């Protein structure tokens, strides 16, 4: 796998919110996220929106529940749509949160066996470059099915995030498949494995079906996107 030369990230420039966005400043992060709207789709990262403001990327294996998590987080039933053929849709979808300087990015799902090897390699290179070099990228939400956490490409994404000095928030999805005790054990075991990678991360259980963990995720998003009313550093860790 080709390595992208590491470039030191600088903090994206602060911006002055337009009046339309200022009207939302009194809202909680969760309520702000409900203002999310589709912005654009791009076939490659070269066609992304301007590298300004702040954005948070959502990534995960195909069928990890990424689209469902985005829809629950934004309280919109069909904002993010999953492909009928997992892994085939390779568009990067951008969503604005009140204004175009705060963005949610839905990255293509990975790890699906039916995708041709050549396409996999192209997208691996694109993802690596994006995670390492995108200056407006404030954090990565990495979704893992709680029944099968930390597969090979999940670990690869974490290593790229580490190279890009990017904080990661891990969502262990489909937590409703377990009772509280076993789910908690999976959380603690995955946390121990993540600690070995020596990167800034937070982790939580999440259920789109039962809408559990939404507030916790919204708070993380609020800090990273600077929509929580506080100018905090994005490198929170646990």
Query: 145-158: per-residue pLDDT in tens?
Result: 999 999 998 999 99
Residue 11: inside a domain, yes or no? Answer: no
pLDDT of 221 reads 96
CA distance 80 to 71: 6
Q: Provide the domain limits for residue 107.
A: 35-225
Q: Which residue, among 205, 152, 203, has the nearest Cα to 177 in the 3D structure? A: 205
Residue 157: inside a domain, yes or no? Answer: yes
Rounded to two decimals, the pTM is 0.84
pLDDT of 124 reads 84
**Number of domains within the chain:** 1
Which residue ranges in the chain fall short of pLDDT 70?
1-24, 83-89, 112-115, 229-238
Contact status, residue 135 vs residue 12, Cβ threshold 8 Å: yes
Residue 7: inside a domain, yes or no? Answer: no
Residue 172: inside a domain, yes or no? Answer: yes
CA distance 107 to 80: 11
pLDDT of 211 reads 96
pLDDT of 150 reads 95
pLDDT of 51 reads 96
Mean pLDDT of all residues in the chain? 85
Residue 230: inside a domain, yes or no? Answer: no
pLDDT of 52 reads 96
For residues 178-204, one letter each, b for 16 or more C-beta atoms within 10 angstroms of the residue's C-beta and e for the rest, the string is beeeebeebbeebbeebeeeebbbbbb
| Three-point CA angle 202, 128, 193, nearest 5° | 35
pLDDT of 217 reads 98
pLDDT of 112 reads 64
pLDDT of 6 reads 52
Residue 215: inside a domain, yes or no? Answer: yes
pLDDT of 42 reads 92
Residue 160: inside a domain, yes or no? Answer: yes
Residue 117: inside a domain, yes or no? Answer: yes
pLDDT of 8 reads 47
CATH classification at residue 46: 3.40.50.300
pLDDT of 7 reads 52
């Amino acid at each position: 796998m080709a390595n992208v030369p590491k470039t030191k990230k600088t903090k994206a420039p602060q911006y002055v919110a337009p009046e339309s966005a200022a009207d939302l400043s009194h809202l909680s992060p969760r309520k702000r996220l409900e203002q999310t709207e589709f912005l654009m789709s791009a076939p490659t990262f070269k066609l992304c929106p301007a590298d300004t403001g702040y954005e948070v990327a959502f990534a995960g294996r195909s069928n990890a529940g990424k689209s469902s998590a985005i829809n629950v987080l934004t309280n919109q039933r069909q904002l993010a749509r999953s492909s009928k053929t997992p892994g085939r849709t390779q568009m990067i979808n951008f969503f604005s949160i009140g204004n175009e300087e705060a963005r949610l990015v839905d990255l293509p799902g990975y790890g699906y066996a039916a995708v041709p090897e050549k396409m996999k390699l192209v997208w691996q290179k694109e993802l690596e470059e994006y995670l390492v070099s995108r200056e407006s990228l404030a954090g990565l939400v990495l979704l893992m099915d709680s029944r099968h956490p930390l597969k090979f490409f999940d670990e690869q994404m974490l290593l790229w995030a580490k190279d890009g000095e990017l904080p990661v928030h891990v969502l262990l999805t489909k937590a409703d498949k377990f009772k509280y005790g076993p789910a908690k054990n999976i959380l603690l075991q995955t946390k121990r494995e993540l600690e070995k990678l020596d990167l800034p991360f937070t982790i939580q259980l999440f259920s789109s079906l039962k809408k559990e963990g939404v507030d916790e995720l919204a708070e993380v998003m609020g800090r990273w996107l600077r929509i929580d009313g506080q100018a905090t550093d994005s490198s929170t860790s646990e």
